Amino acid sequence: MRTRQRAFSAVMRLCVKCLRVGRWRRFRLAWRLQQLWRYGHLCLGSLLYNSFTNSDVVLDSLFEPIYWLVDHVTRWFGVVFVALVIVLTSSIVAIVYICLLPLILQTYPPGWICWHLAYGHWNLLMILFHYYMAITTPPGHPPQAKSNTVAVSICRKCISPKPARAHHCSICNRCVLKMDHHCPWLNNCVGHYNHRYFFSFCLFMTMGCVYCGISSWDIFREAYAAIQRLKLLEKETLQVAANQTYYQTPPPTFSFRQRAFHKSIVYLWVLCSSVALALGALTLWHAALITRGETSIERHINKKERQRLQKKGRTLAHPGTAAVYTPAPWNWPELGPSSLCDRAAHTSPGHLTDVGAEAQGVVPAPAAPGPTPAWH
């Protein structure tokens, strides 16, 4: 009897032990799966985490294929745009020499003839010289060899030191010193060494177009009126032919040479006026940037930086205090008229308040006595 009880007890203990082992194994498997899930989530988060990620970065990533297509199309169409500039300019010069110059020599007094010949040829030489120099002069690139040049940061695409005011051109696939923009009409970047040639070309081209438009205004009105009269006569001739009646005398018409002359004058005036308006606005825009010591890229970056720093200054401001900015013992490096984004790259997080004060035009005030604020 006792032997049976002992055997039964041993069997029961073995069953309970097996149940406990199975429960522990199931618990250990669930715990292992949970640890693997947490580890995978952590790895994925560490791979995708970026403290600089924002909506602009996400949009840039989504539109990256479009940017790539535009860059490559612009790179290949640069030669076409340069050829187009040469063809249009040559056509205007040909019309001036063939159509306008004979009229000037026949109808104008000697003083005006000398003025038109001197100023017209001088302006043409300035346009040709500055356009050629803007195309052939390299904009300037950072040195590839090791040097003592002060670098603000590292270019993420070139993986090389990027000096102050240098930017990466996605079309040329290189960093450009003091880059303004990539001009498809030059098939070249506008940078440190050819910016003056680009601006001079825009200025003299605008002056030349204004000069041609003003000089040919009277001839343009006569040519336009002649073309309108010709259209009216052609319309009347078609109506008479439809009514099956005939003129006693043939209607007056223009020869091919006269038609080509009138249409060439209209083409010259319309093209010169359009270029003068468009290129004149661009020239004034770049003149304003030059007076401020900025490029077009730096103006865009500085505007965003000022807005960000002003927003940060309002966030850090204490309510009810007159002076919210404190001076920081920092001397800006002598890098010329650099932008606020370059200055911000040289500052530590504790010195951003001075940059915000400069962006808002607020003179930093001395720190008030007392405990240091919490945001310091």
* 155, 143 Cβ separation under 8 angstroms: no
Q: Give the per-residue pLDDT at 347.
A: 41
Q: Give the per-residue pLDDT at 202.
A: 96
For the chain, how big is the Rg over CA atoms in Å?
38
Confidence at 364, pLDDT banded by 50, 70, 90: very low
pLDDT digits (tens, 9 = 90+) for 257-271: 888 888 899 999 999
Outline where DSSP puts E strands in 112-180: 151-154, 161-163, 166-169, 174-177
Task: Return the higher-pLDDT residue of 348 and 168.
Answer: 168
Confidence at 33, pLDDT banded by 50, 70, 90: confident
Q: Give the per-residue pLDDT at 211.
A: 94
The Cα–Cα gap between 167 and 49 comes to 26
Q: Give the per-residue pLDDT at 122.
A: 96
Task: Return the higher-pLDDT residue of 56 and 271.
Answer: 271
The Cα–Cα gap between 321 and 375 comes to 15
Q: How many CB atoms lie within 10 A of CB 27?
A: 10
- The Cα-based distances of 99 to 254, 264, 268 in angstroms read 16, 8, 10
Task: Return the higher-pLDDT residue of 368 and 54.
Answer: 54
- The Cα-based distances of 192 to 45, 150, 151 in angstroms read 42, 16, 16
Provide the residue type at 117 as one letter: L
Q: Give the per-residue pLDDT at 2.
A: 66
Q: Would you say residue 374 has pLDDT above 60?
A: no
- What is the percent of the chain with per-residue pLDDT over 70, rounded to a whole number? 68
Task: Return the higher-pLDDT residue of 65 and 253.
Answer: 65
Catalytic hit among 175, 183, 209, 272: 183
Quick one: 48 exposed, middle or buried, by C-beta within 10 A (0-12, 13-18, 19+)? exposed
Give the residue-averaged pLDDT of 296-309. 87
Q: Would you say residue 84 has pLDDT above 70?
A: yes
Q: Would you say residue 28 has pLDDT above 50?
A: yes
Q: Would you say residue 70 has pLDDT above 60?
A: yes
The Cα–Cα gap between 10 and 94 comes to 116
Instruction: Kindly report the average pLDDT of the chain as a whole number.
Output: 76
Q: Give the per-residue pLDDT at 21.
A: 54
- Please state the pTM of the whole predicted model: 0.64
Q: Would you say residue 73 has pLDDT above 70?
A: yes
Q: Give the per-residue pLDDT at 115.
A: 92
* 207, 276 Cβ separation under 8 angstroms: no
User: Does residue 330 sit in helix, strand or coil?
Assistant: coil
Q: Give the per-residue pLDDT at 48.
A: 65
Q: Would you say residue 365 has pLDDT above 80?
A: no
Catalytic, 183? Answer yes
pLDDT digits (tens, 9 = 90+) for 218-245: 889 988 888 888 878 777 776 666 665 5
